[in-house]
Amino acid sequence: MLDSTTADIYLINDDGELIGRPIISACVDAYSSMCLGYYVGWKGGNESLRKLMLNVATNKVEWCKKFGVDIKEEDWNCHRLPHKVVTDMGKEFAGYTFSNLANLGVEIMNLEPFRPELKSLVERFFGLIQDSFKKELINKGVVLKDFGDRGAIDYRKNACLTLEQFEKVLLLCIIHYNCNRVIELPYGIDGIGSHAKDLWNCCLTKNKDMLIPVNKNLLNLTLLPRCRCFFKRNGLWANGLRYRAIGFTDEYLKSNMGWAAYDPKNVNHVWYELSGQYFEFDLIESFFLDKSLEEVRAYKNKEKDEAVHIKELESEIRLSNEIEKIGNVSNRVIEIKNVRKNRKKEIIKK
């Protein structure tokens, strides 16, 4: 089961500035209640989903070492994808990008929207995890039930943890949840420990094919956003930028269209999708190397605005010149009498 929630804690950045409440996403096994992977960060949507699934497919012993935490393989034995995932109809789960998981053999089951009781296990996971750290971080930016009530404490003023510090807290809470929280074993299961990891490992030994091995690079490309791309003689156009790769002469000549995966954080490459395979194309316009798509669009919009203003200025100059030409006549001594008589003469002429 997959789901996301907003964490009940306010965080700051390295400069001590308030950032807000992060998003937690999690994948929880519906039978053993084992947490298979998580993501915590500032962005939801496809970004959080992609990083969640990458974490599910990551070796957790190596992952925990990054935070200075040592675990055994059997404590968090998950580095492959589940055969079936259950989600609600959130926009990140209902979109085209998430459905690409089916190309890797994952069956996607969508529940009815606004029915949290249908995925109560993952909802309970969020509750237990947050209860684990709330009592220890009570005056560190944690949000309590009276949040927003009149006279309640402004919890934002107590924030003192960064995202990196909070992620280590969250990781430790998940390890406790998987390895030390006592669970009620299903009927007929005997001879194993009473923890989620024990039930999970027991199921793994009896059903060795219950998970799908996957290449993390392929998984990442599968879950990257897509854009329309167009082959032209001067390159592959995607997101308004030109790319190149060897071996696509026919496509360049025939001006074929297709789909390309791209990384919004770095425009150096796009990956042309063809028959389930991905072919890497390199950016031609070196000026935009190592820039994000947002930066590229901001620059192009600014350039477009400047071009519009230059065009307006050129038009104003031409207008001024034309008016000056028309007004370039010798001055005369004007008689101001008989205006009405002169007006009638002009009307008759017309």
Q: What pLDDT score does 117 carry?
A: 60
Residue 124 is predicted with a pLDDT of 93
Backbone angles phi, psi at 14, to 5 degrees: -65, -20
Do residues 259 and 228 make contact, with C-beta atoms less than 8 angstroms apart? yes
pLDDT values of the chain reduced to their tens digit, one per residue, 350 residues: 998 999 999 999 999 999 999 999 999 999 999 999 999 999 888 888 899 999 999 999 999 999 999 999 999 999 999 999 988 756 555 556 778 888 888 988 887 665 666 667 889 999 999 999 998 998 899 998 766 566 578 888 999 999 999 999 999 999 999 999 999 888 767 778 889 999 999 988 888 778 999 999 999 999 999 999 999 988 999 999 999 998 888 888 888 889 999 999 999 999 999 888 899 999 999 999 999 999 999 998 888 888 888 888 888 888 888 888 887 777 777 777 788 888 888 888 76
Q: How many C-beta neighbours within 10 Å does residue 2 have?
A: 25
| pTM, entire model | 0.80
Tokens of 45: 């949507």
Asked if 226 contacts 278 with a C-beta cutoff of 8 angstroms, the reply is no
Cβ–Cβ < 8 Å for 173, 127:
no
Task: Give, for 241, the enclosing helix (H) or strand (E).
Answer: strand 241-244
Give 109: exposed, middle or buried? Use CB within 10 Å, 0-12, 13-18, 19+: exposed
pLDDT of residue 304: 82
3-state secondary structure of 73: helix
Strand order of the β-sheet with 2-6 is 2-6, 23-28, 35-41
321, containing H or E segment: helix 293-326
Kindly report, as residue ranges, where domains of CATH 3.30.420.10 are found in the chain: 2-221
Q: Which CATH class is domain 2-221?
A: alpha beta
What DSSP character marks residue 108?
Answer: E
Contacts of 320 by beta carbon, 8 Å cutoff, 6+ apart: none
Residue 236 CB contacts under 8 Å (≥ 6 apart), including other chains: 229, 230, 242, 243, 244, 245, 248, 251, 252, 260, 270, 272, 281
Q: What is the pLDDT of residue 260?
A: 94
What residues contact 249, with CB distance under 8 A and at least 6 apart? none
Among candidate residues 164, 286, 295, 269, the one with its CA nearest the CA of residue 217: 269
Task: Please give the DSSP secondary-structure letter assigned to residue 142.
Answer: B
Strands 107-110 and 84-87: parallel
